[in-house]
Amino acid sequence: MAAVIHQDRRMCDRRLSQYFNSTRDQWIEVVKAMVAARASCTDHNPKASPGYFAWDAGVTRMRQIFCREAWDMGDDNGVEHISHNEFHKKITIMNADYGVCDPLRSPRNRTPKGPATEKITDLNSQFELFRSEHPKEIKDGAFDHWQLCVFDDGKLVRAELSRPIDFKSGYFVGYSERIWILPPGEWERIVIEKPIDSGGQDFEINIRRK
C-alpha cells in the first residue's frame, strides 16, 4: 500500500493539529534537541553514542513539551513513547536514514530493531482493520503508533512524523501516512537558538562538528 504523503505546508500543519493537537514548531524543538545531542559527541565517544544521545534527547524533549498537554509517557517493552488516550495515539523517536522526507523512499531505522519494535506495525495493522470494520467505534486500548523520524548526517537535517505498517529483517520499510516536518532545505533556514522553555533543561544547539 502506497503511503499518503503530506508535503504541502498548510496540509502538514492541518494534520499535525488534527491528529496530535500539535504544531510544527513543537516538533522542530524536539529535532533541535536531537541535533544538539548528536553534535556534542567527539571522536572519543563510543561509536553508538551519537545515535543514543540523539534518541535520548528527542524522547526527553518530546515528553517535556507534550506531557504538559495531556500526553502521558510510557514504555512498551523498551519502546519509549508518549501516548494520548483521547487521540488514541502513541509517538516514538527514531534515528532514520536518508529516506526521511524523500517521496521515492521510506525512512528506515539506522540500526536493526527487535520484536518489541516490530509489534508496532502489527498493532497499527490491527487498529486499521478494526477502524475499517467499526468506523464509529474505537476499541479501548487501541492506539495508532507514529514515529518522529529524524535524519541528521552532520550537515543535512530532515524530519517527518510517520505511521509504520511494514517491518522486515529488523527495519521499518513501509508507512501508511507521512507528514513532513523538516523537508530538504528547511533546516538551513531555521534560526538556531535555545528553546524558550525546556521544562528545566536547556539544550544548546551547536552545529559545529568536533
What confidence tens digit (pLDDT) does each residue in 94-141 have?
A: 999 999 999 999 999 998 887 777 777 777 666 665 555 555 555 556
- Which pTM was predicted? 0.84
pLDDT cut 90: percent of the chain above it: 63
Residue partners of 158: CB distance under 8 A and separation at least 6: 100, 101, 150, 151, 182, 183, 184, 186, 187
Listed by start position, the domains of the chain span 4-189
Integer Cα distance of 160 and 163 in angstroms: 10
pLDDT of residue 208: 44
